[in-house]
Amino acid sequence: MQTHVTSEFNLYLRYAYHLRKWYLEGRGVGSHAQLVGEKGAVPIKVIIQPAGWHEKATLELQSTDYVADLRAEVAKWWESIQVRFLVERYVQVALTLKGVFLSLKTLFSRFIWLRRKTLQLRSLDLC
């Protein structure tokens, strides 16, 4: 039994990043080997902030977690930031295009109005 737990624990060490990433994505694989030696685990808060970014994020880990677990947490957080950034950028571009369209529409309507006034003035001159 101890050999089985040890080999499963070694497997967890080797694939800790992928296992944590799958867990964060909701496709996690549980293991009883994770329970070995976690009695003295202390919660750790890690505050991360990318350079040039205004917002910070807090990750909560255990003192028994591996660097691979931290790496998976940061990777998952970064992916969520990228998706949110792309959505915000898409909305910004859409609003800009809408503004350009409205500007063109306004410009076109003013052009039509000036054209009509010009034709009216010409018709008055001809009479």
Q: How far apart are alpha carbons 100 and 120 in whole angstroms?
A: 30
Q: Each residue of 14-65: pLDDT tens digit?
A: 778 788 888 888 776 665 445 555 667 888 899 988 888 788 889 888 888 8
**What is the model's pLDDT at position 33?**
47
For residues 108 and 62, which has the higher predicted lDDT (pLDDT)? Answer: 62
pLDDT digits (tens, 9 = 90+) for 74-106: 888 888 888 777 777 777 777 777 777 777 777
Q: Which residues pair with 61 in a beta bridge?
A: 44
Among 77, 42, 41, CA closest to 59: 77
